[in-house]
């Protein structure tokens, strides 16, 4: 079975987005650990860039992924917008709109839409280090907007279903 390295975005001194006392780094880590557990139970070899609240730079995370021999890198984040409750939904970022990362992004977004998230689509972001400095297909999943009450409701109330949806999208692509 394939090897997947999961990255919980931000960490340590880098909170990522914040909203009403909520920190993106905490949501990212909780989700990565839950997705990792599901994938492991499904026979996937799962590695992590972090399993505690530490900071690693994006380039170090890419190096970790490259040194791991993983087949895919999936970075988990929460989105944010300039105005609270301006947007809601999931979006996945990839280096290019072609190839295996794109197919995995489509599967993850479709699975998350079944949980109830708006599917905002897939965007090519070749300027992101975790996407352009990895030797394997890599994607960055924005699991809803941290400053959207609607998305936080889905993230909290359907946490297990959200983790399962991300895992299902990954498994469909392996």
The residues with which 77 forms a beta bridge, in sequence order, are 142
Instruction: Write down the catalytic residue from 24, 91, 106, 142.
Output: 142
Helices then strands (H, E): number in the chain?
Answer: 6, 8
Nearest-CA neighbor of 144 among 126, 119, 169? 119
Q: How far apart are CA 4 and CA 18, in angstroms?
A: 28
Question: Strand ranges (DSSP E) for the chain?
Answer: 3-8, 18-19, 22-23, 45-48, 72-79, 90-94, 119-124, 138-145
The torsion angle over the Cα atoms of residues 142, 147, 151 and 153, rounded to 10 degrees, is 140
Residue 142 annotated among the catalytic residues of the structure: yes
Q: Residue 137 — left, alpha, or beta (φ > 0 → left; ψ -120 to 50 → alpha)?
A: beta
Q: How far apart are CA 83 and CA 75, in angstroms?
A: 24
Catalytically active residues are 142
């Amino acid at each position: 079975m394939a090897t997947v390295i999961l990255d919980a975005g931000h960490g340590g001194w880098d909170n990522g987005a914040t909203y009403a006392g909520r920190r993106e780094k905490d949501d990212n880590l909780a989700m990565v650990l839950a997705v990792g557990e599901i994938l492991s139970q499904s026979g996937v070899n799962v590695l992590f860039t972090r399993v505690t609240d530490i900071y690693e730079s994006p380039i170090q995370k890419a190096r970790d992924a490259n040194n791991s021999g993983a087949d895919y890198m999936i970075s988990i984040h929460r989105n944010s917008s300039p105005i609270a409750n301006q947007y809601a939904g999931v979006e996945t970022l990839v280096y290019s709109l072609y190839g295996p990362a794109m197919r995995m992004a489509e599967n993850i977004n479709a699975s998350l839409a079944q949980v109830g998230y708006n599917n905002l689509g897939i965007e090519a972001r070749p300027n992101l280090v975790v996407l352009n400095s990895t030797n394997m297909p890599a994607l960055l999943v924005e699991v809803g907007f941290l400053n959207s009450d609607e998305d936080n409701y889905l993230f909290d109330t359907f946490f297990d279903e959200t983790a399962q949806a991300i895992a299902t999208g990954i498994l469909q692509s392996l």
